[in-house]
A and B are shown apart, each in its own frame.
Chain A
Amino acid sequence: MAASGNALLGLEDVTLCYATSEQIVTATWRVSFDVAQGDRFILLGPSGCGKSSLLKAVGGYMTPTEGHITLKGQPVTRPGPDRMMVFQEFDQLLPWKTVKQNIMFPMVMSGKYSKAEAADRADFYIDKVHLSRARNSFPHTLSGGMKQRAAIARGMATEPDILLMDEPFAALDSLTRGQMQDELLALWEETKFTLMFVTHSITEALKIGSRILLLSAHPGRVRAELNDLDGLRDNPLRSKAMEADIYHLLFGQAAPAEVE
């Protein structure tokens, strides 16, 4: 467990509910965890485990019905550029701005950087995500992978306290996805940003994460917190075994419930 003293982000007994006109659905039930500076924290679980809801709550789009979310000791109450989101959808770039303008916009609007600084930083991150040739292109001329790269550059350039990614590679083809995962890790090696990443793919979780939170479904509850993942990528045998363990943790428990 990460010591809560130096935690960047803390969730304490967070219960999230969706209200439809007929009923109130509990998405997550008393979920607690801490994310430390530099963590690549993965929320992993089957659909319906509330992992995206948890990310939205950290993003400030949902208010917990119970429990607290704190970022650097301050309660999270609304969305803000200190928690930049990268969404799964390709339409997250503003169509009326070029790649560079898209990346500069939140930096300038948040008042954190001057226009010149923002332009420099945008250029730097555009090169980092290999979009140099598309710098002045409008989003509709880019491929899906390039759009996601631009969105990641936008998220990182703003230098948020934490980068929130909601299955950012799920809509990509598998070749591009693998490439993007490698690039994300390479970026992390360089700047050691803090990342919170939602996925339903065990392989992706093991590849990207330094820590993994396993959630069970209906409602989402913490099933396990895997913190000892270092060196896993260099050890295919251990990685395979871990994959099987996670699968068992996620679905072994669900099986008896289905028999009942």
Chain B
Amino acid sequence: MRQNIIIDIDPNARLDIAARPVPWPRRLYANPTLRRLLVIAVLGAVWQGYATWLHNPLLVPTLSETAQAFAEGMLSGVLPQRVAISLRTLLIGYGLGVALAAVLTGLAATSLMGNSLLETLTSMLNPLPAIALLPLALLWFGVGNGSLVFVLLHSVTWVVAMNTHAGFQAVSQTLRMVGRNYGLNPVSYVLRILVPAAFPSILAGLKIGWAFAWRTLVAAELVFGASSGKGGLGWYIFENKNELEIANVFAGLLTVILIGLAVDSLVFRQIEKRTLRRWGMQAH
């Protein structure tokens, strides 16, 4: 007959195999900021290498020439001023666009009519390029900030609304029932259940909306020039192209890129870290 076998394990023995420190190359590799810096460094090196080999500053200035133009622009105060003008218009347009999207998706989440309204408006207006609306906007709102804000609002609203709406629709039936179980009113239900539950999609929408807003703003200034004598970054690029200051053109583009990187890592990533990662709703 077989016997029961019982083995006593000394709880203190070989604790060293239970947990070991992670070797340092792996730790470095696990750091997302470091990985991003590596990508940027490689891209910068490729740029510098190609431009040096091409040796034609009128077509492609080197990274160091661009950096110098950028530094000069920053020090002379021209670039910061242009950035300030662009950012101000951008934030107004973006804010209004997000607010309008919030109202529309809130209606869509709580009533069938609102749902149809949003879906119809989005499918109709989302494909319309914001720049195509600019001539009309100039007629309606005159040459000035109003027109720019209008086209920015158009470029932001639909994409943010579409993503938020898709996020709301993907909220699990269980969470919906939990929210209704608590007897929340429609506003609380949207703000406290649907918004956090759909936050991955909402944040994606906000990011895309931010990018669309930049594109629209720079393009609008490039095509239609300065409004009311005070141009932003797009105007800066346009001006310098006309004067064949190509390094400055690149510096202007670089500024847009740097702002994009900064907003992404200082704003959106921080939000992600404090919400989605913490809640286990997003992998790394």
Interface residues of chain A, those whose CB is within 8 Å of chain B, are: 59-61, 78-81, 83-85, 87, 89, 91-92, 94-96, 105-106, 109-110, 138-141
Q: Can you give 17 contacting A-B residue pairs, CB < 8 Å?
A: A78-B180, A79-B180, A81-B181, A81-B183, A83-B181, A87-B178, A94-B178, A95-B196, A95-B197, A95-B280, A96-B275, A106-B181, A109-B183, A109-B184, A109-B192, A110-B183, A141-B280
Interface residues of B in 251-284 (CB under 8 A from A): 275, 278-281
* CB–CB A80/B183 < 8 A: yes
A89 CA / B183 CA spacing, docked (Å): 20
A59 and B280 within 8 A (CB): no
CB neighbours of A138 from chain B (8 A): 278-280
Closest residue of A by beta carbon distance from B183: A80
Q: State the CA gap A250–B192 with chains docked (Å).
A: 43
Structural contact, A140 and B279, CB atoms closer than 8 A: yes
Q: Say yes or no: A87-B177 contact (C-beta < 8 A), given A95-B281, A138-B278.
A: yes
| Chain A neighbourhood of B188, CB < 8 A | 109
On chain B, the residues within 8 Å of A61 by CB distance are 177, 180
Residue on A with the closest CB to B195?
Answer: A96
- Taken residue by residue from 171 to 186, chain B's Cβ proximity to chain A (1 for < 8 Å, 0 otherwise) reads as 0101101101111100
A95 touches B279 (CB 8 A): yes
Q: How far is the CB of A248 from chain B (nearest CB, A)?
A: 35
Q: Which residue of B lies closest to A108 (CB)?
A: B182
Partner pick for B182 among A96, A109, A139, CB 8 A cutoff: A109
How many residues in B have their beta carbons less than 8 Å from beta carbons of A? 21
Nearest-Cβ distance from residue B200 to partner chain A, whole angstroms: 11
Q: Which of B177, B184, B197, B280 contacts A140 (CB 8 A)?
A: B280
Pair count A-B, CB < 8 A = 67
Contact at B196–A94, with CB atoms within 8 Å? yes
4 A-B pairs with least C-beta separation: A140-B280, A96-B196, A80-B183, A79-B180
Check if B210 is an interface residue, CB within 8 A of chain A: no
Which residues of B from 158 to 213 have beta carbons under 8 Å from A? 172, 174-175, 177-178, 180-184, 188, 192-193, 196-197, 199
Contact call A79/B275, Cβ cutoff below 8 A: no
Nearest-Cβ distance from residue B193 to partner chain A, whole angstroms? 7
On whether the beta carbons of B275 and A87 are closer than 8 Å, the reply is no
Provide the residues of chain A in CB contact with B172, threshold 8 Å.
89, 91
Q: How far is the CB of A49 from chain B (nearest CB, A)?
A: 21
Name the residue of chain A whose CB is nearest to the CB of B281: A95
Whether A85 pairs with B281 at a CB distance below 8 angstroms is: no
Q: In the bound complex, how far is the Cα of B180 from the Cα of A83, in angstroms?
A: 11
Given known contacts A91-B172, A91-B175, A95-B279, A59 and B181 CB-to-CB distance under 8 angstroms: yes
CB distance from A84 to the nearest CB of B (A): 6
- Write out the residue numbers on chain B whose beta carbons fall within 8 Å of the beta carbon of A91: 172, 174-175
Q: How far does the Cβ of B258 sit from chain A's closest Cβ, in whole Å?
A: 32
Closest Cβ–Cβ distance, residue B275 to chain A (whole Å): 7
Minimum C-beta distance from B101 to chain A (A): 21
Q: In the complex, which of the residues B175, B178, B188, B197 has the most CB atoms of chain A within 10 Å of its own CB atom?
A: B178
* B181 adjacent to A94 (CB under 8 Å): no
How far in angstroms is the closest Cβ of chain B from A258? Answer: 33
In this complex, the member of B183, B199, B281 whose beta carbon has the largest number of chain A beta carbons within 10 angstroms is: B183
A106 to B193, CA, bound (A): 12
From residue 101 to 157 of chain B, which have CB atoms closer than 8 A to chain A? none
